[in-house]
Amino acid sequence: MSKCPQIGVLALQGAYDIHAERLNELGAITRFIRTPDQLEFLDGLVIPGGESTTFLKHLERAGFYDVLNDFVHTKPTFGTCAGTILLAKDVTNPTQRSFAVLDIEVERNAYGRQNDSTILTEETSLPGGPMEMVFIRAPRITRVADDIEVLATRDGNATLVRKGKLLAATFHPELSDDVRVHQLFLDMVREHTPCD
Ligand code: GLN
């Protein structure tokens, strides 16, 4: 079997292991990424959910932030939940540092305490009909630039967006049995870096 594509899953904290399981099931080779040098040979990267402020604290060590910043600006990257917050151009509630590679605005923890965690089945333009979406202290996408493709929504707000080699979800697709979002990311990676 070809050793391609190689997908990294940022494993500093949060829900990273199930992303790797999903991607392995779909035929990718996965690596847990804990240091900046490990980014070097990857074809794509998943930045999982967790706590974006904690990610930022970890990333501020050993020049990790800058290396990751270069990566997300040049290679396929899939952010979920906190990962989406890190990719967004603008972050509110409160404002915080981000890679600003995806021209969207996100409001952190936007769905309120009573709705900390919720599972909904919502429309998506991905083939196969409505999709289960697991939201955990989720951000809300409050603005998308004109050139961003909106692939799913919740109450009129985008929940899954794509721009070129970047994919971002405000929900946790790794926690549902539906593999369409991971399959889409894998297709994007293969399109960007075809395997021999
Ligand atoms: N509330 C978290 C944050 O603001 C995101 C939650 C998640 O990733 N499930 O970073």
CATH of the domain at 49: 3.40.50.880
Quick check: is 42 in a domain?
A: yes
CA 84 – ligand 1 centroid, Å? 9
Task: Decide if 171 is inside a domain.
Answer: yes
Residues 6+ away with beta carbon under 8 Å from 125: 150, 151, 152
Write the pLDDT tens digit of every residue in 18-33.
999 999 999 999 999 9
Q: Quick: pLDDT tens for 160-170.
A: 999 999 999 99
Number of independent structural domains in the chain = 1
Position 35 in a domain: yes
- 101-159 residue pLDDT tens: 999 999 999 987 656 789 999 999 999 999 999 999 999 999 999 999 999 999 999 99
Q: Is the CB of 8 under 6 A from ligand 1?
A: no
For residue 136 and ligand 1, the question of a CB distance below 6 A is answered with yes
Domain assignment present for 76: yes
Is residue 2 over pLDDT 60?
no
Q: Are strands 166-169 and 157-163 parallel, antiparallel or unpaired?
A: antiparallel
Determine the residue of 136, 159, 172 to mutate for testing ligand 1's pocket, defined as the one with the most ligand atoms within 8 A of the Cβ atom.
136
User: What rounded mean pLDDT belongs to the chain?
Assistant: 94
Q: CA angle, 34 as apex, 15 and 80 as ends, to 5°?
A: 35
- Write out the residue range of the structural domain in which residue 56 sits: 6-192
Cα–Cα distance, 117 to 13 (Å, whole number): 19
Query: Above 90 in pLDDT, residue 180?
Result: yes
Residue 1 lies in a domain: no
Which positions are annotated as active-site residues? 81, 172, 174
Does residue 78 carry a pLDDT above 90? yes
Flag whether 66 is in a domain.
yes
The structure's pTM equals 0.96
Q: How far is the CA of 124 from the centre of ligand 1 (A)?
A: 22
